[in-house]
Every structure is written in C-alpha cells, then in structure tokens.
C-alpha cells in the first residue's frame, strides 16, 4: 500500500507561488499538524519512507520516521513542479495571464515559461511511485510530496484524463492511500485526516 502524504502547512505568505524556493520550512501550526499526522500513522508498519527534497516535506516526514528505525529517502522526482518564471509571483498576477486558464482547464497542454510541462511533472511522479512499488512489492510505504504532484499521481491511478486532475483536492498533512494488492490500483482514502487503528497489528492468540 502506498501512502501519498502532502506536507503540512508551510511558513509562507498566502497568495504567492513559492514552488521550489529553498528555505521554506513548516509553519508553527504545520509542525503541530505533522506531529498529529505521525500519531495517526503510528499503527502503520512502514517498510520505507520517501520524501521530496524540499524542507517542508522532509520536516513532515521526520515525525513519521522517528522511532521506526527508518531513514528518510530523498527522491528528486517527488519534488515540487518546476514553475520557471512563475515561481515567486502572486496568484493575483498569474491569474491575469493566458497560461493560467490553460493550467486550470487544460493542464495537459501547459508548459511553464522557463519550467517544465505539467505532463512531464505527472510522468516523473508516476515513474517515482512505480520504482518505489518495484522495491517494495508488499507492505506499506510512505511518500511525502506536494499537492500538484500527488493530485497528478492520483489522477493517473484513478484513470482520469489529466485535464481533470484539478478537480482533485489534497489538503496539507493529509493521506491519499492506494492499494495495489490485486494487481491494479484501488483508492482507499483521499485527502484523509482520520484514524489508522485498523492497521495496528493484532496480538497473536495463545495456543491452548
């Protein structure tokens, strides 16, 4: 099972596209949300924990890894979208561009100026998850990344046309869970913030 986890709320001004801007850490409430996320996931036995290299993702992964004896494995292909010249600009400014409507309604045709295409972002995200699945054919793995990449990956496994991926909402510090146990993907939870007690190993019965 693959637990797709969006990082907790980061410390940046609302209304601006930060993208891959370095040095963006979790906000104070984001740190607390990451701790609560780790507490919810405590019953789950993870075989591995993977993360985008950006600080806000690694800081979300750290409480999950704590006490499990697992190292956080950084995967470049899980990184945020390369927004090019859009990075750092306000959403108000970007919403006035022709590209904005393309990104929202026809992302399969969108390439950010000086950056990557949305289709390339989806492809590298799916490739990363498929490689992780090949490494871990059984059990559970955690993958901490960013909203657009996780939405794009979820759309792929749901069989949605990429132009519909913006209809998916994935909240900060939430879990989107896919099972691949029957040879094909099943969506178990989407943008979830609930309990995972059903994953706690059941005690073995003593023989009489």
pLDDT in tens, 70-110: 999 999 999 999 999 999 999 999 999 999 999 999 999 99
Q: Where are the beta strands (DSSP E) in 104-203?
A: 140-145, 175-179, 186-192
What CATH number labels 2-194? 3.40.50.1240
Q: How confident is the model at residue 208, as a pLDDT?
A: 55
Please report which confidence band the pLDDT of residue 207 belongs to, taking 50, 70 and 90 as the band edges.
Answer: low
Average pLDDT, the chain: 94
Q: How far apart are CA 144 and CA 134, in angstroms?
A: 18
Predicted TM-score (pTM) of the model is: 0.93
Q: How confident is the model at residue 192, as a pLDDT?
A: 96
The full DSSP string for 22-47 is TT-PBPHHHHHHHHHHHHHTTTS-EE
Q: How confident is the model at residue 206, as a pLDDT?
A: 65
Domain locations in the chain? 2-194
């Amino acid at each position: 099972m693959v637990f797709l986890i969006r990082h907790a709320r980061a410390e940046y001004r609302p209304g601006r596209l930060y993208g891959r801007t370095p040095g963006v850490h979790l906000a104070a409430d984001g740190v607390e949300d990451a701790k609560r996320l780790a507490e919810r996931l405590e019953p789950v036995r993870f075989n591995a924990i993977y993360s985008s290299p950006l600080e806000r993702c690694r800081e979300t992964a750290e409480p999950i890894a704590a006490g499990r004896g697992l190292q956080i494995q950084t995967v470049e292909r899980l990184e945020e979208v390369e927004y090019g010249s859009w990075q750092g600009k306000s959403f108000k400014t970007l919403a006035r561009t022709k590209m904005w409507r393309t990104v929202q309604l026809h992302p399969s045709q969108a390439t950010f100026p000086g950056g990557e295409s949305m289709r390339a972002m989806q492809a590298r995200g799916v490739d990363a998850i498929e490689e992780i699945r090949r490494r871990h054919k059984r059990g559970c793995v955690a993958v901490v990344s960013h909203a657009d990449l996780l939405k794009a990956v979820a759309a792929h496994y749901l069989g949605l046309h990429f132009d519909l991926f913006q209809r998916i909402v994935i909240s900060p510090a939430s879990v989107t869970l896919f099972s691949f146990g029957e040879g094909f993907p099943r969506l178990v939870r989407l943008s979830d913030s609930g309990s995972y007690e059903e994953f706690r190993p059941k005690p073995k019965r003593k023989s009489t």
